[in-house]
Structure 1
Amino acid sequence: MVFQQENAAVHSARLSNDFFQENNVALLDHPACSPDLNPIENVWGWMAREVSDHGCPL
């Protein structure tokens, strides 16, 4: 198994990295500031744009 995480500062802290190394956890290389891979977040964004385009305030 490979663990996936974004490279946010809290995820790339020394304590976190030490834990993964000590427990032989493989990490997927993931660039910092990459697009959100969570599909529901993209759906919420699409829905907000649709509502806004039809003149309804959010």
Structure 2
Amino acid sequence: MRIVMTVRELSELLGVSLDSIYSMVKENQIPHVRIRRRILFHREIIENWLRSSN
């Protein structure tokens, strides 16, 4: 299992559109990192974020 996820992988995992993920990133609603032009999500941080937002 990879440590980081792309926008597409995260949208599939969460069952939401790519536009939703990009909006959440733009509004800093979801933990992410930018490496040059790429937006990446650390799998463990996203899992903890999902657990804490319930």
Q: TM-score w.r.t. structure 1 length?
A: 0.27
Point out the structure with the larger strand share: 2
Point out the structure with the larger helix share: 2
- Which fold has the larger relative contact order, with Cα–Cα distance below 8 Å and residues 6 or more apart in sequence? 2
| Structure ID, larger Rg | 1
Q: TM-score w.r.t. structure 2 length?
A: 0.28
